[in-house]
A and B are shown apart, each in its own frame.
Chain A
């Protein structure tokens, strides 16, 4: 069963706008990661947030984590056409031996 569920499933915005994607999960976690997948390619790691962190930044990316609600959000500010991709959250939970379980992904389209 999927640990992470993401919404929206698809998001279409204009260049320059901000994009927000959400991820919910079911069990306690060690950390949560976000990955990007361009069409027809493998996934690329974007950012990791640990269970004792609430917010993390990397360039135009901002990730928040609310362990009480078992949810995370990924914000991409000032989006560009090159940000068009699918975005996945992945969780690493205690007792899982490091296995990452992925959500179903959000498909982001940024129109120029």
Chain B
């Protein structure tokens, strides 16, 4: 049981390049989310999904796209990387999520460290 798997663990991009951070979970979790973690800022929610085919924006969605074609996968796309997107990105999932469906206890991946030059 792998839990939440993120790839790659490390990535260096040049400004303007695009890339996709992969996230997969094998726990049949409905809810998946992406956070970024910056020094002194804690974790900030980028996008989230309450099920396949359903996504919504978090606190800091600009510059990022997501899709949820399957229950297992929730990739995060950077369309045109900027130095301000240098950060550590965490994918997290939970069995429940969404209004009225119970407490949202998250299982996190190990993180992807992105540097944009």
Chain A interface (Cβ < 8 Å from any Cβ of B):
1-2, 4, 30-31, 33, 35, 40-45, 48, 50, 88, 90, 92, 95, 97-105
- In the complex, A80 Cα to B109 Cα: how many Å? 25
12 A-B pairs with C-beta separation under 8 A: A1-B59, A2-B42, A30-B103, A42-B108, A48-B103, A92-B103, A97-B99, A98-B50, A98-B99, A99-B104, A102-B35, A102-B43
In the complex with contacts A97-B56, A98-B31, A43-B45 CB distance below 8 A:
no
- Across the interface, A98 reaches (CB within 8 A) one of B41, B43, B96, namely B96
Task: Fill in one digit per residue for B83-113: 1 if any A CB lies within 8 Å of its CB, else 0.
Answer: 0000000101010111101011111111100
B58 close to A (CB within 8 Å): yes
For the complex, give the distance between the alpha carbons of A89 and B50 in Å. Answer: 22
Determine the interface band of chain B, counting residues with CB < 8 A from chain A.
Answer: 20 to 34
> Given A31-B103, A43-B108, A92-B104, is A99 in contact with B35 using a C-beta cutoff of 8 Å?
no
B100 to chain A: closest CB distance in Å? 9
Listed in ascending order, the chain B residues whose CB lies under 8 Å from chain A are: 4, 31, 33, 35, 40-45, 48, 50, 56, 58-59, 90, 92, 94, 96-99, 101, 103-111
Provide the bound-state CA to CA distance between A97 and B101, in Å.
Answer: 9
Known contacts A48-B103, A101-B59; 8 further A-B pairs (Cβ under 8 A)? A31-B103, A33-B103, A40-B111, A45-B106, A90-B106, A98-B97, A99-B58, A102-B35
How many angstroms from the CA of A89 to the CA of B98 in the assembled complex? Answer: 19
Give the shortest distance, in Å, between B44 (CB) and chain A (any CB): 8
Closest-by-CB residue of B relative to A100 is B104
A-B CB proximity, top 6 nearest: A42-B108, A104-B42, A98-B97, A102-B43, A98-B104, A43-B108
Closest to B113 in A: A40
